[in-house]
Structure 1
Amino acid sequence: MNPVYINSAACISVQDTLNENFLENLKPEYSTLVLKAIEPVYKEFIPPAMIRRMSKTVKMSSVASHYALKEAGIENPDAIIVGTGIGCSQDSEKFLKNVLDNNEEFLTPTYFIQSTHNTVAGQIALGLQCHAYNFTYVNTSSSLEFSFLDAKLQIIDGDAENVLVGSTDEQTERTMELYKLNKTIKKEEDLPVDYLNSETHGVVWGEGASFFVLGKEKAVNCYAQLKDIQIVNVLELGETQDFIKEFLNKNNLANTNIDAVILGFSGDSKSDVYYNKVTELFTGSSLLYYKHLSGEFNTASGFSTFIACHILKNQEIPEVMMINDLKKGEIRNILLYNHLGGNDHSLVLLGKV
């Protein structure tokens, strides 16, 4: 199978990931239930008249995609593919509030039009005047992975040479209230969070947007090779290790060939047991975690993919991400494993170029 390369990576997150030296300044967060993204000055990228009509996820995605395309030296991609879990929920909430406040009468359609999940991909295409393949995946925590899989197939089949792939999710006040009520988000008394040895349910919620340009050809500043992706909706705890082993066998790799494993420990004692099962397989690898830096959200794996790209390129692992103290001399293969609340499990294999 022909290789597919990640030629650029950009991220807006809870960390200052637009800063070139962000790896040196990663700050974990243990005592806040809802983490807000560090946003850029949007008027530097988007006309002020348009900013007012854009939800947060559209604004974050517009800027992150701008950085990704600029770094890859691509003006117009051959396809735009975006993954999101809850889409433009700000505009959805505004529309529903209007319905209630106005007794279902005299409603302006703007919020409804902008509330659809594919608004992000559509707005990016409009800004670029790109008439190519445009698709949005809404598959909870594996939305980005489905987007990667689609882009990889587009490139391998010869339908595209450069594909803009992104993931994005925003927070909204009402949704966060509901997540606290249904115990998706932890209680105040459960703080500070022990992400690796938690005895309580629920997570710390975050947000962000991560965009990548996947290419047929390796660019000068290429980050990594996207080797393979595996997704499964339901996985029994006892099947976790076999799920990993089968994936590695398919790629002709042994456990010892994986130099670093990035796991999505979220501080939820009920679902983090899956990650504990995986650590048992990789006693000779660097074990890393990241949701103490990004928070949990539907497309948090975009943050881990962005970090993994920088680890492969710079051959350096941030100390704040280390679970164990093992570091190999050369990092050639990184395995990313993620799920959300024990559902929608995904594996992504990245290789050094």
Structure 2
Amino acid sequence: MIKPVYIRSARAICAQDTFTGNCLPKELTDAVNNALSYNHPDYSRYFSIMQLRRMGRLTKTGMVAAIECLRDAGISHPDAIITGTGKGSMSDTEKFMGNIREFHEGTLNPTPFIQSTYNSLNGLIGLHHGTSCYNTTYVHRGFSLEHSLLDAMLLFSEGRAKNALAGSFEEMTPEHFIIKKKLGYWKEAPVSCMDLLRSGTSGSISGEGTFFFLLQDSESNAMARLDGIRILFEPTLQELTVEAGRFLKEHGLAWADIDILLSGENGDIRFGDYYKTISAEIPERAHHLAFKHVCGEFDTAAGFALWQAAHILERQEVPDVLQLRKGTAGNIRHLLIYNNYYGKQHAFYLLGV
């Protein structure tokens, strides 16, 4: 079994103003036409005007989140940089493909192509911090973030690194939104964030987000402990419950030990049974929280859950806006994240203090 790792710092940029105070704001931004878009920080604090002109939308969010995550941890040269993304920079990809059509495959601007590759952000982070460490990007749709974290945990277990910058990044463009809407990903009628989870219809609201975590092999100054991750592909409801129980047992826990379940309900009635099955297992004293009505649905939305979980464990405070069922658990010791991406990729995260 892979050894636990510790989260030293965590940063998030998404539709909510999570960047300014590194916490969930009291007033939430609502979805517009069933889409939650980035609340961008002031990039001029980090880059010159000439640099910003050459940086794509996702590159800017990723760079700033990574810079602040490393700064919070007091580390300038991580031992590894590992990210996961389901789609990478969609805006740069679309721009490059548009240029191919417009200029008939003639003289093209190379910048959109360079920034459209999945690993471009990792390379820029390495260049910015002057490090040539282990550097990898995973592109596995709903399992992208999970593989980046598992890779970091394996590096620690093998003694090849003492810390790692791990994270995920995703964006939504108007054209990609339309494509996914035709495939049934989003709700037909407009819905507000606070009404999403009780909508009772198929589809969800789209989101986008960038999340970075400084992981380390020691508990010194750690926010929380990441005990393990379990991923499952297209399990039945019975298999899901059995594997979740086995996952807890491997870490010396039972369902009764869980203080918080943070689950990825997204308002899509087609996949509600998965979440009902897991929530039925937790004790009555446990808090049941949700997060996708705050950040929206996307391939690596679990990054928001992990960011929020780390802060909950560090501060021992549960945001009211996330509450599905308020429990009585006071001292929060064990937190379980359960998320699935449209019923195919399922993941459990076990965190503790």
SS for the counterpart of 1:110 is helix
SS for the counterpart of 1:270 is helix
1:79 aligns with 2:85: no
Residue in structure 1 matched with residue 216 of structure 2 by the alignment: 215
Sort the Cα spacing of 1:38 and 1:24 in 2 relative to 1 into closer, same or farther, 3 A: closer
Aligned residues: 350
Q: Report deviation, 1:141.
A: 1.8
Q: Report deviation, 1:200.
A: 1.3
One-letter amino acid of the structure 1 residue matched with residue 275 of structure 2: Y
Residue in structure 2 matched with residue 92 of structure 1 by the alignment: 93
Identical-pair percentage:
38
Q: Report deviation, 1:236.
A: 1.7
Question: What are the Cα deviations for residues 167-217 of structure 1, in whole angstroms up to 9, with x where unaligned?
Answer: 110121211121122221211x25246433332111101111110100112
Q: Report deviation, 1:155.
A: 1.2
| Contact 2:11–2:22 under 8 Å retained in 1 | no
Which stretch has the larger CA shift, 30-39 or 178-187?
Answer: 30-39
| Contact 1:15–1:22 under 8 Å retained in 2 | no
Residue in structure 2 matched with residue 134 of structure 1 by the alignment: 135
1:155 aligns with 2:159: no
Q: Report deviation, 1:124.
A: 0.7
Question: What are the Cα deviations for residues 280-310 of structure 1, in whole angstroms up to 9, with x where unaligned?
Answer: 1113321100111101111111111111011
1 CA distance for matches of 2:54 and 2:171? 15
| Mapping of residues 191-210 of structure 1, within 5 Å | 191-192=191-192, 194-210=195-211
Q: Report deviation, 1:140.
A: 1.2
One-letter amino acid of the structure 2 residue matched with residue 253 of structure 1: L
The gaps in structure 2 that reach 5 residues or longer are none
Sort the Cα spacing of 1:171 and 1:8 in 2 relative to 1 into closer, same or farther, 3 A: same
Residue in structure 2 matched with residue 179 of structure 1 by the alignment: 180
Which stretch has the larger CA shift, 325-334 or 99-108?
Answer: 99-108
Residue in structure 2 matched with residue 4 of structure 1 by the alignment: 5
1 CA distance for matches of 2:316 and 2:33? 31
1:337 aligns with 2:351: no
Residue in structure 2 matched with residue 257 of structure 1 by the alignment: 257
Note the aligned Cα RMSD (angstroms).
Answer: 1.6
Question: What are the Cα deviations for residues 222-275 of structure 1, in whole angstroms up to 9, with x where unaligned?
Answer: 210110011122212332211211111111110011100100010111122211
| Contact 1:142–1:339 under 8 Å retained in 2 | no
Sort the Cα spacing of 1:279 and 1:129 in 2 relative to 1 into closer, same or farther, 3 A: same
Which stretch has the larger CA shift, 164-173 or 189-198?
Answer: 189-198
One-letter amino acid of the structure 1 residue matched with residue 37 of structure 2: K
Residue in structure 2 matched with residue 277 of structure 1 by the alignment: 277
| Mapping of residues 9-28 of structure 1, within 5 Å | 9-20=10-21, 22-23=23-24, 25-27=26-28
Residue in structure 2 matched with residue 241 of structure 1 by the alignment: 241
Residue in structure 2 matched with residue 301 of structure 1 by the alignment: 302
Which stretch has the larger CA shift, 299-308 or 173-182?
Answer: 173-182
| Mapping of residues 307-322 of structure 1, within 5 Å | 307-322=308-323
Sort the Cα spacing of 1:346 and 1:304 in 2 relative to 1 into closer, same or farther, 3 A: same
Which stretch has the larger CA shift, 333-342 or 278-287?
Answer: 278-287
1 CA distance for matches of 2:22 and 2:118? 32
1 CA distance for matches of 2:25 and 2:110? 45
2 CA distance for matches of 1:166 and 1:31? 27
SS for the counterpart of 1:282 is coil
Residue in structure 2 matched with residue 268 of structure 1 by the alignment: 268
One-letter amino acid of the structure 1 residue matched with residue 319 of structure 2: P
| Contact 2:59–2:115 under 8 Å retained in 1 | no
Question: What are the Cα deviations for residues 9-68 of structure 1, in whole angstroms up to 9, with x where unaligned?
Answer: 111111111132733515273664111111111111122212112221111110111111
Residue in structure 2 matched with residue 166 of structure 1 by the alignment: 167
SS for the counterpart of 1:323 is strand
One-letter amino acid of the structure 2 residue matched with residue 236 of structure 1: T
Residue in structure 2 matched with residue 224 of structure 1 by the alignment: 224
SS for the counterpart of 1:27 is coil
What is the TM-score with the length of structure 2 in the denominator? 0.95
Which stretch has the larger CA shift, 299-308 or 108-117?
Answer: 108-117
2 CA distance for matches of 1:75 and 1:157? 23
2 CA distance for matches of 1:262 and 1:40? 27
What is the TM-score with the length of structure 1 in the denominator? 0.95
2 CA distance for matches of 1:211 and 1:26? 23
2 CA distance for matches of 1:351 and 1:99? 50
| Contact 1:72–1:219 under 8 Å retained in 2 | no
1 CA distance for matches of 2:309 and 2:196? 20
Which stretch has the larger CA shift, 324-333 or 257-266?
Answer: 324-333
| Contact 1:14–1:35 under 8 Å retained in 2 | yes
Question: What are the Cα deviations for residues 320-349 of structure 1, in whole angstroms up to 9, with x where unaligned?
Answer: 111112131200010001111101111111
Sort the Cα spacing of 1:348 and 1:173 in 2 relative to 1 into closer, same or farther, 3 A: same
The gaps in structure 1 that reach 5 residues or longer are none
| Contact 1:29–1:292 under 8 Å retained in 2 | no
SS for the counterpart of 2:199 is coil
